Structure 1
Amino acid sequence: MFYFALGLILAAFSGCSDSGPETAGATSETTNGIAVVALDGVHKPIPQARVTLYQRPRAASAESPSEVQDVTQFLPSYVTALETATADDSGKVQFETELDQCQNARCYVEGIAGEDSSLMVWTKFNAKDSLADEIELLPSVSLTVRTGAAASDSTVLGSSVMLDATPYWAKNDGNDFVFSHVPAGLYTIVANSQPVGDISLDAGTSVDTLMWFQELTHEYVFEDFDDGDNLNNLAKTYPNYGWYYLPHKGASFESPDSAGGFAGALVDDGARGKYLSLKFTIQDTGYVMLGTRLGLDTGYYDLSALTAVRLKVRGDCMFAVALEHYRQIENNNYNKALWFTKASDEWTELVLRPGEEIVDSKNYQVSWDEISSEIGIFSIFIYNGSFLEIDEIVFEGIQIID
């Protein structure tokens, strides 16, 4: 069980130190005080930036798990706020904390500016005698850490996780931990006083990542195409008919084609193993689809423990991913939970979550809860563009499909 303090720490940074006669953000310098200048990405001062000085004792844990010989000895690094001040018109902050206090211990500087913490920085403080240390505030990052735990396991995940050696915590949100705003940088994610993994966050991004949480993380690789055949991975244990591909309303496939079939559309680039490469022509209201049954005919599986569908894609099209009920309604239509998304020209991992599906009853699109215990078909509907490449389709929250 995790017993970290609850809540995002970001909400707790508004206080300022009043340990002396000088007001926070004053420009007058003290003999041994610490000065910081807050700048943006083009090196312009940021007036009114909120800057906090933190300290971490040297006796705390190593900088990252890689510095620990035995990860069972890893202890999370905690930091304490020493002083908070507001930048003046030139972006300068003058702290009353004396310089030698950060020469004898590790100090860090946090900067926050803009509405909803849109600009942030977290960095080690460089003790340069009495010279002002420049900090660059960049667009903040939204981070979601997925656990891949089944819904029934969410209660044992604990209350929160942290980014080691920072003030940033995230509460348990079902099966996930959500950091609304954190600075860009390289961090170690810690849960239950143990490192879960390292993560690099680029400025201005929204990151949704799976971290392995001991025995709680469940995932089933439904298809990775590496075996080179037209059967999804379930067929290794439970018989099914494999993948099919169909054009509709004047659309057509260039790959797969009649000569090579499905296997002819599998590409091996030597780096990521095999992946599926679909090429097609779509005009007006036409579309193409890719699908596979999870079982034979009326077979179905209970996927109600599913927490996300994950797949890697590259392409130039809009498409929808659907998990469909096993029973036909009419005219080859099935009730389905459907997620609409878009491919880009770089390989991207998409994460589609139950509860975020598009409900439209007239088009047989229903809520996930309505059909999740009787799923019979996995489908992809492609509406425009010319190509879509797919790899590593994974069901999170499920370890063994029974």
Structure 2
Amino acid sequence: MVYTTLLVVAATLLAGAASDKYPAPSPLGATYCPEPADIYPCVCKEEDIHIDMDCSEIQDNDQLQRIFHSSIPFDTYRDFIIMKNTTEERVQISYLTKETFANVSFSSIFISHTTLDYISSDAFENSYSRLETVIITDSFLTTFPFDMLSSCPLLTDIRLFRNSINHMADIHSDSLKYLHMSYNPNLQYSDEAFIDAPALEYLILNDIDLKHVARNAFTDLPPLKYLDLSHNLLQTLYEGSLTFDKTLDQLKLDSNQINIVQANSISGLKAGTFLWMQHNYITDLEEEVWQPIFESVNDNPENNLFVFDDNPLTCQCNILWLVQNDTYMDTMALEAYCEDTDQFLEFVDVAFLQENCLRREYFWFS
């Protein structure tokens, strides 16, 4: 009797130890996922008709490859996940190749806070026909196989921010809607980078040390809704560089070094477009340059669309065209400041300017 009891206790302890190491096996009849022990420390999850693979606890490249070369009953997964919080240690994987995933394919890839620095050109080849989303952030990538985009007809979302990618190849995709490349220092791309991406709606390129925007850089993006070029090194906005098709909801140019804005550099905004220009070096809101921009958003006037905080504006006769127009002033957000007169733009004495500037013009031209 004592011997039998000891056997039962030992079996219970062994079962408990096993359950600590491996996730519980799939419920009876749920055979889509591999056996938990075969893919540990990855975890397979089933949701309706979808199966996901979470490998956030993976230890190294070899372990990841071994898992995908194990006995896997189904090779079409929805999500592949390797993600850690920024307060945790990075996941120690350094590369992904086609061999890594064997015959397994995914529709979405989520990778963040890793030591990943290399992805081979064919790493996701088995997923090309299914791939919809690729998000690889807060890692050490220096390159990315952008050429694969033309082979991914369903791919709509790419986010590669917070890496060290130094060159972005021209984008060739009829499906891509969302591209986020921020926080890749010194990222370089050609003047024609987006010409062959006609579905692009959201383009986020802040904090990439951008110094130049080419003429017609975004003209061929008719659905574009959101463009973020903030926190870069732009100094001059050249004629034709920011031309849109009246679809844009927000244009972010804040926190650059912009001090020259040429006529017709910004055009094709629509009623309600927000323009973020704060934290630059603009001194003169020239009528020739800025009045057409104000007019472009005022078919259906809204308040506080244009933000010019923290620019060293001069507020003399040069801004009379602006301050005497109530609609324009409603469009201008509060906090725009006149450095030369030490007052907010909204408090400029319009009557004084009208009297003295118009009189000066009369005597000048008479």
TM-score (norm 2): 0.27
Q: Give the helix-richer structure, 1 or 2.
A: 2
TM-score (norm 1): 0.25
Higher relative contact order (CA 8 A, sep 6+): 1
The structure with more radius of gyration: 2
Q: Give the strand-richer structure, 1 or 2.
A: 1
